[in-house]
A and B are shown apart, each in its own frame.
Chain A
């Protein structure tokens, strides 16, 4: 009887998981098949290539070929550069800030006040700072350059990174660092050689989160760039024209666009899971 109930539960669980998987994977499946449909077939409900429709490489030829290939590859390159570099800078600054806020006590301004002030910067709607950013970058003659976008993304992602890292470092046992200090390490060495390696899963999680935020960011890119620093979200948004939305093109571009973050997440999934749960349980 008990065995039967377990089997029933497992069957139910499997059905739910299969349905959930279908639900989750369907958009990707739809994107893949749409990217292999000709423009005339983009609205058809055909799902099975070769059986219901004849696959066409038209979309891929457009987005990677002579017509728009340069724009697509430039967008992809910019997305990779901007997301990677800005996330690295965020990690560098965020790790120091997070560690110092979790381990040292500031006197003039209390730690809590500093942390809340940092977080308040994340609460600004991005549009509120888009024009000031534009004016600053124009004055610095940095419009349409990678440093401008990297700086904007760094500023935007830093508060979140600091808060996450602050929590990660708080979760580490202080005793280990104290032991290092007794053994002759300086505070910086204790941070670099002990705390940082122990917080690695969290740091990787923060890097991926910042990378994804930066990868998807639209407003600062569209405000601060003209041609040379367009990223994939802006390239994709450009497919909405007065003629309407070219789903075949959006599908091909979206698949290209999700590939790097998916690869990154797959390579670091081991750290990601540990990192995302680090600091989740309070003792």
Chain B
């Protein structure tokens, strides 16, 4: 009996040791020599390569694995990725893609859900991920992608213009009210833009203008328009694209038309050549100091800090704010205008994410590599400028708190604080509206972009353009299958 007790104890101990050892292996942390001889392939575009290139050597040295990086032009990424998926080739393990393709990629079932891996191996600081970003990486309540980039449009303004007391007084005299800094509504932005348009308000000997935004066809101008749409045609947490019950496009309703009229008005106070402003031209022009206000992703803030690399003449002169709201909004459910202040944060584009291909031959190695470089202590270096321009904007709570790292990345403490506070406010908003993520999103947006260009160039009026967008969107929906699209749209909104 004594012996059997000892034997039992020994067995329990052995089991305990094994279970501890087994449990110790089940971690997201990469172990020494863990993937020796294995190769994982990453499909990616520039400038995101900077992130993978930065972490590749030490992860390879730690695990013994090899990371092959396949860099393709952005314009070819979708075709390259989908060809691999459709033919089942399995050439890529990890893919860096823009989350606006979620309907095709996640909805199409081409990438593996990460929930089981997260449960089994853990994930570094899931609670540290901003709520809006958790929505972006999910589809139908499952996580399909590694968060990596916190993308949203924000409002930029020149502090030396808008915060100048003399100008504020002159404005008040002319318009009869004192504007907010940053402006709270698009109506206010229009007045300020008009006030600062066409004269040298910073005394640099050159004429400055009111308001700049991306307006060039085929360069994401539709996201500028959607910044207006969100305020006039959406409410917090309510996406304004389709009626989720009928899948009828909402793009011709009075809210969308009003937004179109406002962006058309904004062109009057913009710098010359606005219609040739893609994202690079806008950023370059704005940091060279030609306008008082602009809307863009977090990139202008990054470029502001680099006079040498981007010719920034506005370092320390920029203020940041969330998107301006509107004095009224159209409620499509009730079919009427609702008077009163409305401000909606919008996750334009949604940011870049990493996913593991369904055909990956080394999904665990891919999981561990992705968790390695997206861990809090490493990802901060990719978003704050220490690793240069990576295209990744802050997306973890901790990214907003470690100010020292931002200072190390070239920011002044004050600028970094304000910039981060703005982005944090947007990404913390549980009612921030996510971008259109159903299959064909690029096609829907292409037609939106086309008719927007007609309005901005003065060829078409707002009503006619919105009607044309409506007709095109109906056709696209029918081509993809109305019921299938309705189901996916609801899934993308987390309604089903």
Report whether chain A binds chain B.
Answer: yes
Q: Interface size (A, Cβ < 8 Å)?
A: 27
- Contact A43:B311 (CB < 8 A) given known A134-B83, A244-B280: yes
A242 and B391 form a contact (CB under 8 A)? yes
Complex Cα spacing A223 to B284, Å: 33
* A residues less than 8 Å from B310 (CB atoms): 39-40
A244 and B80 form a contact (CB under 8 A)? no
Complex Cα spacing A234 to B45, Å: 12
**Which of A138, A143, A234, A243 has a CB less than 8 Å from the CB of B280?**
A243
**Which of B71, B76, B312 has a CB less than 8 Å from the CB of A71?**
B71
Complex Cα spacing A135 to B306, Å: 46
Contact with A along B386-426 (1 / 0, CB 8 A): 00010100000000000000000000000000000000000
Give the shortest distance, in Å, between A145 (CB) and chain B (any CB): 13
Complex Cα spacing A237 to B73, Å: 5
Chain A at the B interface: SS class: mixed
**Which of A38, A227, A237 has a CB less than 8 Å from the CB of B68?**
A227
* A residues less than 8 Å from B309 (CB atoms): 38-40
Q: How many A-B residue pairs have CB under 8 A?
A: 86
Closest chain B residue to A38 by CB distance? B308
Contact with A along B57-87 (1 / 0, CB 8 A): 0000000000011111111100110010001
The 5 residue pairs across chains A and B that have the minimum distance between CB atoms: A244-B280, A40-B311, A237-B73, A241-B46, A238-B73
Closest chain B residue to A244 by CB distance? B280
Give the shortest distance, in Å, between B287 (CB) and chain A (any CB): 9
B89 and A143 form a contact (CB under 8 A)? yes
Complex Cα spacing A241 to B308, Å: 20
Q: In this assembly, does B307 line the interface, its C-beta being within 8 Å of a C-beta of chain A?
A: yes
* B residues less than 8 Å from A238 (CB atoms): 45-46, 71-73
**11 more CB-based (< 8 A) A-B contacts, given A42-B284, A138-B89, A243-B391:** A39-B311, A40-B307, A40-B309, A43-B284, A222-B76, A227-B70, A227-B71, A238-B46, A240-B75, A241-B46, A243-B280
Q: In this assembly, does B278 line the interface, its C-beta being within 8 Å of a C-beta of chain A?
A: yes
Q: In this assembly, does A178 line the interface, its C-beta being within 8 Å of a C-beta of chain B?
A: no
Closest chain A residue to B284 by CB distance? A43
- CB pairs A–B below 8 angstroms (25 shown): A38-B309, A40-B310, A40-B311, A43-B284, A43-B311, A138-B87, A138-B89, A222-B72, A222-B79, A223-B80, A223-B83, A227-B71, A234-B73, A234-B76, A237-B75, A238-B72, A238-B73, A240-B74, A241-B391, A242-B391, A243-B283, A243-B389, A244-B278, A244-B284, A245-B280
* A residues less than 8 Å from B281 (CB atoms): 43, 244
Complex Cα spacing A40 to B87, Å: 43
**Which of A40, A71, A143 has a CB less than 8 Å from the CB of B308?**
A40
Q: In this assembly, does B441 line the interface, its C-beta being within 8 Å of a C-beta of chain A?
A: no
Complex Cα spacing A273 to B275, Å: 43
Q: In this assembly, does A41 line the interface, its C-beta being within 8 Å of a C-beta of chain B?
A: yes
Q: In this assembly, does A47 line the interface, its C-beta being within 8 Å of a C-beta of chain B?
A: no
Closest chain B residue to A234 by CB distance? B73
Give the shortest distance, in Å, between A13 (CB) and chain B (any CB): 36
